[in-house]
Amino acid sequence: METNSSAISLRVNGETHALTVDNRTTLLDALREHLDLTGTKKGCDHGQCGACTVLLDGRRATACLQLAAAADGRTVTTIEGMADGDRLHPVQQAFLDFDGYQCGYCTPGQICSAIGVIEEHAAGWPSAVTADVRPEAGPPPLDADEIRERMSGNLCRCGAYVSIVRAVAEAAAQVAAGREAAGGQGSGAGGTRVTA
Amino acid sequence: MTAPSLAPGRTGVVGTARTRLEGRAKVTGAARYAGEVPFAELAHGWVATSSVARGRIRSIDTEAVLAMPGVLAVLHHGNAPRLRPGVGLFGPDATLQVLQDDRVPHVGWPVALVVAETPEQARAAAEALVVTYDEEPHDVAFSADHPGVYTPEARPPAPPDVERGDVDAELAGSAVVVDEEYTTPEEYQSPMEPHAAVARWENGRLEAIDSNQGSYAIAQYIAQLFFLDAASVRVTSEHVGGAFGAKGVRPHLVFAVMAATMLDRPVRVVLTRRQMFTMCGLRTPTAQRIRLGADADGRLRAVDHESVSYSSAIQEFVEQSTRPTRVLYATDALRARTRLVRLDVPTPTFMRAPGWAPGSYALESAMDELAERTGLDPITLRLRNEPAVAPASGLPFSSRNLAACFEEGARRFGWPDRDPRPGVRRDGRWLVGTGVAASAHAAMTAPSTATATAEADGTFTVRIAAADIGTGARTALHQIAVDALAAPPEAVRVRIADSDFGPAQFAGGSMGTASWGWAITEAAAALRERLALADEIPADGITVRADTSELVRARQPVERHGFGAQFAEVAVDPASGEVRVRRLLGVFAVGRVVNPLTARSQLVGGMIMGLSMALHEEGVRDTASGSLVNGDLAGYHVASNADVPPIEADWVDDPDTHNPTGIKGLGEIGIVGTAAAVANAVWHATGTRQRHLPIRLDRTLTR
């Protein structure tokens, strides 16, 4: 067994965990089976559905396509780390208010993805539907088309997309307003908590 | 305490928008689904499936696998517990009889279960398991003229054949005839949560947490399968990550129970996404011929609808695709025929709006072709053929209001300004068109039981073995209970999804909320009567149980359906053939709407699945190997966010007193009609009819 396992350290939601994992264990299974953080969902195990989306060193990643051993030393933010105590992240609150979900199984991935989208957009990243990608054009407005495109790595079989787009737009506006009130742009580090 | 009087559902919270009771748990990741509850000593089962389409298992090399690290057992037909045959939700279900013999009926049939200490060990061992087969020739090629096509036995709710009037004579006398074949492919429910179950024995009782659509019935069937006393099995399913028909009793639970029993420790079995494509049912492909005969003014004289679908070699499942034809349009003569062919394929099952969804695609496409040939507006044609009674049964409708849906939808969509000519509108490089179709779905109610308890602290607890598979049932039932008890919302808790709560309808057939809501209403009324006579509430509360079996049985026969009108605008790129849906509008008549927030989500969600059916979904079967080529979420594309335009769903007044709650159910009707509306819009954009789903690029480019 010794040669088939690795001792790793993961920083998850602000807490450092020392783990011994089977080398075949994915980051997703490490979160779910070893750390009991089952909020990150397994929909396909192939990186096709987005249900396992987490923020890995602040950027969106499908946890099913990462081996836990290869994530040694990295920082992970999962759905369980998004709220500020009892206060939901604006994206979480908007999903709740706008009914941006039905069965809820893709929801943690959608929310992590949306938080990543808002950060990526604020950092000026274009998407496939951005009309003008020149740096001097600045970030495009985060309109419905931009949100749809940027959120398309997260499948929702219940078909909550229309409400998801509304929820992300609403939350993005709140996050932006929060940033303005705080007097500056975000660092671009995903997982930055911004309260409305 | 005494309860103030308030007529159930008249005032109060039914009809008001409420966010989901479990919403906070779902957006924070706290909601645990079936495969997410930890247990000490939990073992993990991994299913091994057949690689051949037909034959017998010659050997299973268990020895090598048992020597692998962590492996606890390999279950196969030689050592697995014997199951009682003939058990199933709707008659004997051969798909539950796993590991009972050496027969292999299709690719992906489960042939073994490997159980190990960790999921990684179980998976590696299952993949290392060598199984050899004596192969037999297989046949997976579906077509309407397959020599094996036969008439299936009659089963409710729709007998295979209906014949009223002389269809052939009316067709011969018609001024205009449409005679076309429409096909739909294999489609897969593909809920986001893979099937998962954990089973364990606890104090002589089998306890299972399962992802399913109805815990009570499933506990009953598990008890029967395993020769157990019904009371010694408990199944719970607090949160279910989507179902769409695929989560009845499924082999993953049978496996978990087998292994937990053999090993006497908790065992979890989770299917992989690929296994879901072979073990959990699908919507059969259909080949449908529709013949419509009409006078020059569009009045229908004949409607003839024949639908052929497939089932597996081991199980007869009938997709009743002629159901819309039996209720939608008045006609002098009507013939509906359902036919079946048995192939070496996985067993189809219910998928959202079974029968209704593929059937409406064919019928509503044909109606659009009739509108074209009679020169009538498609809505005018439909309104001209509004029936006074159901055309097949002759029974009256409890309520209908389809015309109101068309009128309201036409107004909102801007339909009156439409130029009927196809292929004449351009928006840059795009050809643009609009289409319309009718929706319909049965609104049935089934017996259920519920208990209502007045607690000593002045609160109430309602218990019912309902399932919330994403429908919002938990929240809707809470609203119904609050009004029925005339209590403040915060004083009422609703507990669901536990087989110990007693018999209750499945979350299926759009029957859940209507059936459960009725039982809750009865229980609440009985409790209020008891409370009116009670001086005080004892420490363990006062509990009453209601059972609607007699009430449901006593109803007069009547045609009870939801109806709707769907509108689509599409753009087609004539260079690439790409179709983009630009907007969808659905206006529905679905009885009383309990929670407008979640109801709209369900209707829109159904329409999105309809869009997905129209443009994307197609299971491709390889005739040489008999296997599904694209059995994962990369190969089998379901609509993603970028595929989905602005969509509106709304409803018209549709009072229906046939169920005292007035609820008709709306989980499925959203998908009915969408594909036809999109196909009709593609014709309007391009002039090319779309008689085969999905509307692939190559199909829009072919004239």
Which residues in A lie closer than 8 A to residue B612 (C-beta atoms)? 159
Task: Say if B263 falls within a structural domain.
Answer: no
Higher pLDDT, B401 or B91: B401
Contacts of B112 (CB under 8 A, 6+ apart): B47, B48, B60, B62, B74, B75, B76, B99, B126, B129, B131
Q: Tell me which chain B residues have a C-beta less than 8 angstroms from the C-beta of A156.
A: 192, 641
Torsion of CA B398, B245, B499, B592, to 10 degrees: -30
Q: What's B137-168 look like in SS3?
A: CCCCCCCCCCCCCECCCCECCECCEEEECCHH
Q: Output the pLDDT for position B351.
A: 98
> Which residues on adjacent β-strands are paired with residue B543?
B453
Note the helical H segments in B203-296.
215-225, 251-263, 273-279
Q: State the pLDDT at residue B11.
A: 60
From edge to edge, which strands make up the β-sheet containing B286-294?
B161-164, B333-343, B300-312, B286-294, B176-184
Does the beta-carbon distance from A46 to B634 stay under 8 Å? yes
The pLDDT assigned to A184 comes to 58
Of the candidates B553, B582, B607, which is a domain's last residue?
B553
SS3 letters for B591-659? ECCCCHHHHHHHHHHHHHHHHHHHHCCCECECCCCCCECCCCCCCCCCCCHHHCCCEEEEECCCCCCCC
Range of the domain at B680: 397-443+560-703
B659: left (phi over 0), alpha (psi -120 to 50) or beta: beta
The dihedral over CA atoms of B252, B257, B262, B267, expressed in degrees to the nearest 10, equals 70
Distance from CA of B611 to the nearest CA of A (A): 10
Paired residues of A84 in beta bridges: A87
Determine the distance in angstroms separating the CA of A97 from the nearest CA of chain B, rounded to an integer. 6
Per the rule left: phi > 0, alpha: psi between -120 and 50, beta: everything else, B595 is: beta
Q: Label residue A187 by pLDDT band (50, 70, 90).
A: very low
Q: Write b or e for each residue in A44-81: b if 16 or more Cβ atoms lie within 10 A of its Cβ, otherwise e.
A: bbebbbbbbbbbbebebbbbbebbbbebeebbbbbbbb
According to the model, what pLDDT value does residue B10 have? 47
- The Cα of B606 is separated from the nearest Cα of chain A by a number of Å equal to 7
Mean pLDDT along residues A98-111:
98
CA atoms within 13 A on the CB side of A42: 26
Q: Which residues of A touch B26 (CB under 8 A)?
A: 101, 104, 107
A1 contacts B632? CB cut-off 8 A? no
* Cα–Cα dist B87/B95, whole Å: 10
- Cis? peptide before B157, omega within 30° of 0: yes
Same domain, yes or no, for B685 and B613? yes
Q: Are strands B647-651 and B579-589 parallel, antiparallel or unpaired?
A: parallel
Position B6 pLDDT exceeds 90: no
Strands (DSSP E) contained in B17-130 are 43-49, 55-60, 71-75, 103-104, 110-116
pLDDT band at B703 (very low <50, low <70, confident <90, very high): low
Instruction: Give the nearest partner residue to B634 out of A39, A48, A102, using CB atoms.
Output: A48
Cα separation, B328 vs A126, in Å, equals: 49
Of A39, A83, A152, the CB nearest to B641: A152
- For the cut 60, the answer to whether the pLDDT of residue B389 exceeds it is yes
pLDDT confidence tier of residue A182, bands split at 50, 70 and 90: confident
Residue B118 Cα, gap to closest chain A Cα (Å):
9
Looking at the structure, tell me whether residues B564 and B695 fall in a common domain. yes
Q: Do A105 and B120 touch (CB under 8 A)?
A: no
- Residue B547 — φ and ψ, nearest 5°? -135, 120
Q: Which of B503, B524, B553 is the last residue of a domain?
A: B553
Q: Would the pLDDT of B3 be above 70?
A: no
**CA–CA separation, A192 vs A119, rounded Å?**
9
Q: Which residues of A touch B27 (CB under 8 A)?
A: 79, 88, 92-93, 95-96, 101, 104, 107-108, 111
Q: How confident is the model at residue B154 (pLDDT cuts 50, 70, 90)?
A: confident
Task: Return the residue of A nearest to B603 by Cα.
Answer: A159
Token code pair at residue B271: 């299917």
DSSP state, B259? Answer: H
The closest CB to that of A39, out of B30, B632, B647, belongs to: B30
Give the contacts of A165 (CB within 8 A, at least 6 positions apart): A144, A147, A148, A151, B641
- Residue-wise pLDDT for B252-301, tens only, equals 999 999 999 999 999 999 999 999 999 999 999 999 999 999 999 999 99
pLDDT at B196 over 70: yes
Q: Do domains A2-81 and A90-182 have the same CATH topology?
A: no
Summarised one tens digit per residue, pLDDT across range B405-448 is: 999 999 999 999 999 999 999 999 999 999 999 999 999 999 99
Contact flag B633-A83 (C-beta cutoff 8 Å): no
What is the tally of structural domains in chain B? Answer: 2
* pLDDT value at residue B159: 84
Whether omega before B85 lies within 30 degrees of 0, making that bond cis, reads no
**B170, B522, B618, B668: the active-site residue:** B668
DSSP codes of every residue in B117-130: SSHHHHHHHHHH--
Q: Phi/psi class of residue B299: alpha, beta or left (left: φ > 0; alpha: ψ in -120 to 50)?
A: beta
Task: Give the residue among B626, B586, B633, B635 at the shortest CA–CA distance from B610.
Answer: B586
- The type of residue at B159 is P
State whether B627 and B637 are in the same domain. yes
Mutate one of A26, A103, A155, A163 to test the B interface: name it (highest B CB count within 10 A).
Answer: A103
Domain boundaries of chain A, sorted by first residue: 2-81, 90-182
Q: What is the ipTM, given to two decimal places?
A: 0.97
Instruction: Pick A103's closest partner by Cβ from B24, B192, B647.
Output: B192
Distance, in Å, from the CA atom of B530 to the CA atom of B520, rounded to the nearest integer, reads: 15
Residue of A nearest to B610 (CA): A159
Q: Which site among B469, B607, B641, B671 would you substitute to test the A interface, given the most A Cβ atoms closer than 10 Å to its Cβ?
A: B641
- Assess whether B529 and B668 both reside in one domain: no
In a shared domain, residues B669 and B536: no
CB contact under 8 A, A46 and B471: no
Task: Note whether residue B206 is domain-resident.
Answer: no
Q: Which of B22, B632, B644 sits opposite A44 (nearest CB)?
A: B632
Q: What DSSP character marks residue A84?
A: B
The answer on B644 and B566 residing in a single domain is yes
User: What ranges in B243-377 are assigned the alpha helix state H?
Assistant: 251-263, 273-279, 323-327, 356-374
**Chain B residues closer than 8 Å to A85 by CB:** none
How far apart CA A64 and CA A110 sit, in angstroms, is 15
User: Residue A62 belongs to what H/E stretch?
Assistant: strand A59-62
Interval B333-343 mean pLDDT: 97
For chain B, the average pLDDT equals: 96
Q: Are B651 and B592 in contact (CB under 8 A)?
A: no
Burial-class residue B177 by CB neighbours within 10 Å (0-12, 13-18, 19+).
middle
Look at residue B496 and tell me if it is in a domain. Answer: yes
Above pLDDT 90, what percent of chain B?
94
With CB atoms and an 8 Å threshold, state whether B606 touches A159.
yes
Are residues B538 and B603 part of one domain?
A: no
Residue contact A148–B634, C-beta within 8 A: no
Do B449 and B519 have their domain in common? yes
Q: Do A49 and B601 touch (CB under 8 A)?
A: no
SS (H, E, C) B488-528: CHHHEEEEECEHHHCCCCCCCCCCHHHHHHHHHHHHHHHHH
B473: tokens are 């049932």
- Number of Cβ pairs < 8 A linking chain A and chain B: 183
Shortest Cα distance from A12 to chain B (angstroms)?
14
Contacts with B29 from chain A: Cβ below 8 Å: 37-40, 78-80, 108
What's the CATH code of the domain at B524? 3.30.365.10
Which single residue is written with the structure tokens 């379901």? B638
Paired residues of B283 in beta bridges? B187
The CATH classification of domain A90-182, taken from the options 1.10.150.120, 1.50.10.20, 1.10.1760.20, 1.20.1110.10: 1.10.150.120
Do B351 and B244 form a contact (C-beta atoms < 8 A)?
A: yes
Tell me, yes or no, if B41 is annotated catalytic. no
- Note whether residue B108 is domain-resident: no
Does A102 contact B30 at a Cβ distance shorter than 8 Å? Answer: no
Which pLDDT tens digit goes with each residue over A121-164? 999 999 999 999 988 888 889 999 999 999 999 999 999 999 99
Looking at B502, B536, B553, the residue that finishes a domain is B553
B82-141 tens-digit pLDDT: 999 999 877 899 999 999 999 999 999 999 999 999 999 999 999 999 999 999 999 999
Contact A102 B472 (CB under 8 A): yes
Searching chain A, which residue's CA lies closest to the CA of residue B605? A159
| Predicted local distance difference test score (pLDDT) of residue A115 | 98
pLDDT digits (tens, 9 = 90+) for B165-180: 999 999 999 999 999 9
Taking an 8 Å cut-off on Cβ atoms, the answer to whether A102 and B606 are in contact is: no
pLDDT at residue A87, rounded to an integer: 97
Minimum Cα–Cα distance from B192: chain A residue: A43
- Asked if residue B420 and residue B467 are part of one domain, the reply reads no
State whether the Cα torsion B235-B238-B244-B246 is positive or negative: negative
The CATH architecture that domain A2-81 belongs to is Roll (3.10)
